[in-house]
Copies of this chain bind each other. A is one copy, B any other.
Amino acid sequence: MISYLRRISHLFNKQLAKEKTFAKSIANITGQTPINLNLYKLAVCHTSAAKEDKLGVRSSNERLEYLGDAILGAVIAEFLFKKFPYKDEGFLTEIRSRIVNRESLNKLGKKIGLNKIVEFNPGRGGNTHKSLYGDALEALVGAVYLDKGFKSCRKFILTRLLQPHFDLNEIIENNLNFKSVLIEWAQKESKDIKFVIIKEVGSIHHKEFTAQVLIEDEPVSTGTGFSKKKAEQAAAEKACQIREIK
């Protein structure tokens, strides 16, 4: 009986030590003491490592990732909105997508050490998943939001993710010009490409233009804007998406 109790106590202490280490890791990453540790455990659990609960439900970080993605987008949107009071929404959207994208989040996830705590099962497709750490990072944002509320989560995003790991000046200078991307692609692929203004609405001083992209004389996309250049950029961006040109 005593040896049985001793074994139970040993297992319990071992589990406790493990939890403490995990809580410390989370505190190191987020800068905040976690309250509901289960949320964070879920955040670092990839689908491939999901275990069934008593109800037969397999829980992984995918739902938290969905939530965290939305919170992250909102916090970065507000940050850029306030940082650049004279930039238009096209600029803000573009800069946000350069910060928050699969590749950059995956890199960042590794950088902040998620690769040390994310659980996955290589045999179940876990290690072939390209954005394992980016997804876990979004899930972590979701966990912090649920555990500590919006303000604390925003603080985590801004002071632990954005400010230390992104050089905004560099991001902005690395200017993406969709029209030139498209033209380069067309030259490489020996395709004929045209940009045509197909519609103009409004008075002389404030017209809205609609541009169309034609590849091999086939209309691919249209875009609108309050200048010909903006309309062409919008159309070119869509064409790049549709034809999956990067």
Interface string of A91-121 (1 = CB under 8 A from B): 0110000000000000000000000000001
| Max chain B C-beta neighbours (<10 A), residue from A62, A65, A67 | A67
Q: Is A201 an interface residue (CB 8 A)?
A: yes
Contact assessment for A203 and B242 in the assembled complex, using a CB-CB cutoff below 8 Å:
no
Looking at the complex, which of A16-24, A72-80, A164-172, A180-188 is the stretch in contact with chain B? Answer: A72-80
Please report the total number of A residues contacting B with Cβ < 8 Å.
42
Q: Is the CB of A124 within 8 A of B206?
A: yes
Closest B residue to A221 by CB, please name it. Answer: B244
Given contacts A48-B206, A203-B123, contact A67 B77 (CB under 8 A): yes
CB interface residues, A 24-62, toward B, < 8 Å: 47-48, 57, 62
Q: Is the CB of B88 within 8 A of A62?
A: yes
A202-B123, A202-B125 known; A89-B70 Cβ under 8 A? no
Measured between beta carbons, the chain B residues less than 8 angstroms from A145 are 78
Q: A175 CA to B121 CA in the complex, in Å?
A: 33
Interface code A180-213, partner B: CB below 8 Å = 1, 0 otherwise? 0000000000000000000001110111100000
Least Cβ distance of A29 to chain B in Å?
Answer: 21
Residue in B closest to A81 when the chains form the complex, CB atoms: B67
A66 B78 Cβ-Cβ under 8 A: no
CA–CA, A87 and B67, complex, Å: 13
Least CB distance from A119 to B in Å reads: 14
- Say if the beta carbon of A71 comes within 8 Å of chain B: yes
Question: B70–A74 contact, CB under 8 A?
Answer: yes
Asked whether any CB of chain B lies closer than 8 Å to the CB of A63, the reply is yes
Complex-state Cα separation, A63 to B90, whole angstroms: 9
Instruction: Kindly state the separation between the CA atoms of A206 and B48 in the bound complex, as whole angstroms.
Output: 7
A226 within 8 A of B: yes
Q: Which of B128, B202, B206 contacts A201 (CB 8 A)?
A: B128
User: How far is B88's CA from A124's CA once the two chains are assembled, in angstroms?
Assistant: 19
Which residues of A are interface residues toward B (Cβ below 8 A)? 47-48, 57, 62-63, 65-67, 69-71, 73-74, 76-78, 81, 86-89, 92-93, 121, 123-125, 128-129, 142, 145, 150-151, 201-203, 205-208, 226, 242
Given A71-B74, A125-B201; 4 other pairs, CB 8 A cutoff: A66-B89, A123-B203, A124-B203, A128-B208
